[in-house]
Structure 1
Amino acid sequence: MDRDNEELRSIASLLADECTQTILIETATEPMSAEELSEVCEVSPQTIYRRLDDLSEHDLIEEDLQPDADGHHYKVYTATLDRVVVDLTTDGFELSLSRRDRMADRFTQFVNEVRDR
């Protein structure tokens, strides 16, 4: 099995998981902590962290630090996955993923465009 097929199977398996789907849906609109995701998904924090590691491995989620009222920081997660398309071809299945740009990347792009005018 070649590397592309392995990645296709890995991502497809990941996306078939109900917990992973919930993580992606919940973090598509606002960042959430692992604790919040654990409550929403009704699974242990360990399960959430395993899914987050898998999602991060495929660049389907990003991690940021959020300050709290006590001056400490905690990690929050935001889905970067925007769209998944599976095509059946004569060679098998092809998976196309589109990802959202990170806010920092969009800001950098904006600054570069303004500067180049």
Structure 2
Amino acid sequence: MADETPIEEILNTIGDEHARTVLASVSRKSGSAKELADRLDLSQPTIYRRLDVLQEHDLIKERTLVADDGNHYKEYRCNFDSTVISLEDDEYDVRIFRKENLPDRFTQLWDELGVK
């Protein structure tokens, strides 16, 4: 895993049903906390707690937008394209693939393969 977040923390995060629901929703369509609460029929405090955890592990990104009335709000979106969780010899491996870092990811993969 390119991130230095412990695998157990990532697994615990995506093991939470509400966090998975929020993550799945923002992977399909970005939205504000209020939009997500309405869309997912969850309370805003529940949404905010999950957004905080997902953001802490760099699984989502936020950006600040300005509404027509001039008020600011945050919109959340998924920060990766895919993830692979594998189990080998009683050890988990979590790989998160991000499109925007493709050249860096290729270099890292190349280095991991030991190609010189």
Question: Which residue of structure 1 aligns with residue 34 of structure 2?
Answer: 35
1:60 Cα deviation after fit = 0.5
Distance (Å, rounded) in 2 between the aligned partners of 1:20 and 1:81:
15
Does structure 2 conserve the Cα–Cα contact (< 8 Å) formed by 1:80 and 1:101?
A: no
Question: Which residue of structure 1 aligns with residue 97 of structure 2?
Answer: 98
1:41 Cα deviation after fit = 2.2
Q: Normalising by structure 1, what TM-score?
A: 0.72
Give the direction of change, closer, same or farther, for the CA distance of 1:32–1:85 in structure 2 (3 Å limit). same
Q: Tell me the alpha carbon deviations over residues 5-40 of structure 1, each in whole angstroms, 9 at most, x when there is no partner.
A: x82122112112222222122212332000111122
Question: Which residue of structure 1 aligns with residue 65 of structure 2?
Answer: 66
Give the direction of change, closer, same or farther, for the CA distance of 1:100–1:38 in structure 2 (3 Å limit). farther
1:71 Cα deviation after fit = 1.7
1:99 Cα deviation after fit = 2.4
Alignment gaps of 5+ in structure 1? 103-117
Distance (Å, rounded) in 1 between the aligned partners of 2:54 and 2:70:
28
- Where 1:81 maps in the other structure, the secondary structure is coil
2:73 equivalent to 1:87:
no
Distance (Å, rounded) in 2 between the aligned partners of 1:82 and 1:24:
12
Distance (Å, rounded) in 2 between the aligned partners of 1:23 and 1:80:
13
TM-align CA RMSD = 2.1
Runs of 4+ in 1 over 6 A off after TM superposition: none
Q: For 1:30, give the aligned amino acid.
A: K
Q: For 2:50, give the aligned amino acid.
A: R
- Where 1:86 maps in the other structure, the secondary structure is strand
